[in-house]
Structure 1
Amino acid sequence: MSDSNPRRVKQSVSSPAKAGKASVSKPRKRTSGDVKELSPRNIMQAFEGNIEPVTPTLMYRLCALLVSFVMILLPVIYIAMIGGVIWGVYFHAVHSLGLFEAGSSSTSTHNRGKGMVLLLLVYLTPIVVGVILIIFMLKPLFSRPSHSSAFRALKREKEPLLFMFVDQVCDAVGAPRPVQINLDIQVNASAGFRRGWLSMLGNDLVLTIGMPLVAGLSIRQFSGVLAHEFGHFSQGAGMRLSFIIRSINIWFMRVVYERDAWDERLEYLSQSIDIRLGWILHLARLFVWITRKILWLLMMTGHLVSGFLMRQMEFDADRYEARLAGSRCFAATSKRLALLGVANQGALSDLGQFYAEGRLVDNLPALININLSKMPAEVKQAVTLHIKEEQTGWFDTHPATLERIANIQNEDPEGIFRLKSPATILFTDFSREAKFVTRDFYYGVFGKKIPREDLHSVDELMVRQEAENESHKAVQRFYQGAIYPNRPLLFSESAVKTPADAKQCAQELKSNREKLLKYREKYKSFVDEYREYESKSMSVAMAEVAVRARLKLKVDDPFFKSLTNYDKVMNAKHGLERKKSGTRVELEKYESLIVNRLERALQLFHVPKVQTQIADAALWERDLHDLLQALQATNSQLSRLWELHMNAVALQVLLRFFDELRTDDKYCEVVLSEMEKMETLLNSIYARFQRLLYPFEHSRVDITIAEFALVRIPESNNPGELLGAAEELFENLMALNHRVLGRLCLLAEEVETLLGFEVLPEFEEAIPDELES
Structure 2
Amino acid sequence: MSDPSPKRVQKKRTSANPVKTDATKQKPASKKSSPATAKELTPQKILQALEGNIEPVTPTMLYRLNALLVSIVMVLLPLIYVGIIGLVIWGVYFHAVNSLGLFEVAGSASSGRARGKGMILMALVYVAPIVIGAILIVFMFKPLFSRPVQSSSRRSLKRENEPLLFMFVDRVCDAVGAPRPVQINLDIQVNASAGFRRGWLSLLGNDLVLTIGMPLIAGLSLRQFSGVLAHEFGHFSQGAGMRLSFIIRSINMWFLRVVYERDDWDERLEHLSETLDLRVSWILYLARLFIWLTRKILWVLMMVGHLVSGFLMRQMEFDADRYEARLAGSRCFAATSKRLALLGVANQGALNDLGQFYAEGRLVDNFPALININLKKLPEDVLQAVDASIQQEKTGWFDTHPATLARIASVQNEETEGVFRLKAPATVLLSNYPREAKYVTRDFYFGVFGKKIKPSELHSIDELLIRQEEEQKMHRAVQRYYQGAIYPNRPLQISEHSVQVPEDAKQCAQELKNYREKVLKHRSKYKTYVDEFREQESKSVSVNVATVTLRANIKLGGDDAFLKSLTSYDKTIKASTAIDRKKGELRIELEKYETLIVKRLERALQLFLVPKVQAQIPEAAEWERDLRDLLLTLQNTNSQIARLWELHTICTSFQVLMHFFDQMRQDEQYCEVVMTEMEKMEHLLNSIHTRFKRLPYPFEHSQADITIGEFALSRTPESNNPGDLLGASEALFENLMSLNHRALGKLCLLAEQVEKLLGLEILPEFEAKEAESDE
Write the distance in 2 (CA, Å) between the matches of 1:388 and 1:589.
46
Q: 2:493 aligns with which of 490, 493, 507?
A: 490
- Determine if the alignment matches structure 1 residue 743 to structure 2 residue 746: yes
Q: Secondary structure at the match of 2:412?
A: coil
Are residues 575 and 384 of structure 1, via their aligned partners in 2, closer, same or farther at CA, if it must alter by over 3 Å?
closer
Distance in 1 of aligned mates of 2:227 and 2:421: 10
Partner deviation per Cα, 1:21-48 (whole Å, 9 max, x = no partner) = xxxxxxxxxxxx9654111101011124
Q: Deviations over 1:437-462 (max 9, x none)?
A: 10011011111001100100111101
Partner of 1:395: 398
Q: 1:580-619 to 2 correspondence within 5 Å? A: 580-619=583-622
Amino acid at match of 1:686: H
Point out where structure 2 has 5 or more consecutive residues left out of the alignment. 1-35, 770-775
CA contact (8 A) 2:329 2:419 kept: yes
8 Å contact kept, 1:185–1:211: yes
Task: Kindly report which structure 2 residues correspond to 1:335-734, keeping only aligned pairs within 5 A, or say none.
Answer: 335-546=338-549, 548=551, 552-554=555-557, 557=560, 559-560=562-563, 569-570=572-573, 572-655=575-658, 670-734=673-737
CA deviation digits over 1:638-667, x for unaligned, max 9? Answer: 122222222333444555565666676665
Deviations 1:194-245 (A, max 9, x none): 1111111111111001001100000100000000000011111111111111
CA distance in 1, matches of 2:694, 2:159: 56
Q: Distance in 2 between matches of 1:157 and 1:249?
A: 37
Matched AA of 2:161: K
What runs of 5+ residues in structure 1 fail to find an aligned partner? 1-32, 767-773
Partners in 2 of 1:221 and 1:183 — Cα distance?
18
Q: In the alignment, which residue of structure 1 is the partner of 2:87?
A: 84
Instruction: Tell me the alpha carbon deviations over residues 88-137 of structure 1, each in whole angstroms, 9 at most, x when there is no partner.
Output: 22222222223333443475555322222222222222222221111111
Aligned pair partner of 1:245 in 244, 248, 264: 248
2:121 equivalent to 1:118: yes
Which of 230, 236, 241 is the equivalent residue of 2:239?
236
Question: Equivalent residue for 1:22?
Answer: none
- 2:135 alignment partner in structure 1: 132
Deviation at 1:569, TM superposition (A): 4.4
**Residue pair 2:38, 2:425 contacting (<8 A) in 1 also:** no
Amino acid at match of 1:607: V
Q: Give yes or no for contact 1:103–1:115 (8 Å, CA) kept in 2.
A: yes
CA deviation after TM superposition for structure 1 residue 726, in Å: 2.2
1:301 to 299, 304, 310: 304
Question: By how many angstroms is 1:288 displaced?
Answer: 1.3
| Number of aligned residues | 734
SS in 1 for 2:159: coil
Moved more, 47-56 or 352-361: 47-56
| Aligned AA (1:678) | M
Distance between the aligned counterparts of 1:668 and 1:54, measured in 2?
57
Note closer, same or farther for the CA distance 1:67–1:437 as it changes in structure 2 (3 Å cut): same
State the 1:278 CA deviation. Answer: 2.0
Secondary structure, aligned partner of 1:37: coil
The residue type equivalent to 2:292 in the other structure is W
Give SS of 1:209's match: strand
Aligned residue identity for 2:458: L
What is the letter of the counterpart of residue 241 of structure 1? L
SS of structure 2 residue aligned to 1:395: coil
Cα distance in structure 1, aligned partners of 2:87 and 2:100 = 20
Describe the shift of the 1:221–1:561 C-alpha distance in structure 2 as closer, same or farther (beyond 3 A). Answer: closer
Q: Structure 1 residue 396: deviation in Å? A: 0.7
1: CA distance, partners of 2:599 / 2:441: 47
- Helix, strand or coil at the partner of 1:408: helix
CA distances 1:363-397 after superposition (whole Å, capped 9, x unpaired): 00000000000001110111111111111111111
The separation in 2 between residues aligned to 1:555 and 1:55, in whole angstroms, is 45
| Paired residue type of 2:360 | E
- Pairing 1:292–2:295 present: yes
The 1-side partners of 2:161 and 2:671 are apart by 61
Superposition deviation, residue 276 in structure 1 = 2.5
Conserved? CA contact 2:154–2:185, under 8 Å: yes
1:255 equivalenced with 2:261 (yes/no)? no
> Using the alignment, how far apart are the partners of 2:550 and 2:301 within structure 1?
39
Aligned partner of residue 488 in structure 1, secondary structure: coil
Contact 1:104/1:116 (8 A) holds in 2? yes
Which residue of 325, 328, 347 maps to 1:325?
328
Instruction: Calculate the aligned-residue CA RMSD, in Å.
Output: 2.3
Going from structure 1 to structure 2, the CA distance change for 1:283 and 1:684 (only over 3 Å counts) comes to closer
Question: Paired residue for 2:222?
Answer: 219
Aligned pair in 2 of structure 1 residues 209, 716: CA closer, same or farther (>3 Å)? closer
1:11 corresponds in structure 2 to: none
Q: Which residue type is aligned with residue 637 of structure 1?
A: Q
CA distance in 1, matches of 2:564, 2:325: 54
- Residue 165 of structure 1: aligned partner: 168
Change (3 A) 1:654 1:305: closer
Instruction: Provide Cα deviations, 1:285-330, integer angstroms capped at 9, x if missing partner.
Output: 2211111111111111111111111111111111110000001100
Amino acid corresponding to residue 130 of structure 1 in structure 2:
G
Task: Pick one of 49, 53, 57 that aligns with 1:46.
Answer: 49
Identical amino acids, percent of aligned pairs: 74
Q: Which residue of 2 aligns with 1:66?
A: 69
2:273 is equivalent to residue 270 of structure 1: yes
Q: CA deviation at 1:146?
A: 1.1
| AA aligned opposite 1:174 | G
Give 1:93's match in structure 2, choosing from 56, 77, 96.
Answer: 96
- Quick check: 1:476–1:765 contact (8 Å CA) kept in 2? no
- Conserved in 1, the CA contact under 8 Å of 2:37 and 2:424? no
Indicate if the aligned counterparts of 1:476 and 1:764 stay in contact, CA closer than 8 A. Answer: no
One of 313, 318, 343 as aligned partner of 1:315: 318
Distance in 2 (alpha carbons) for counterparts of 1:436 and 1:255: 33
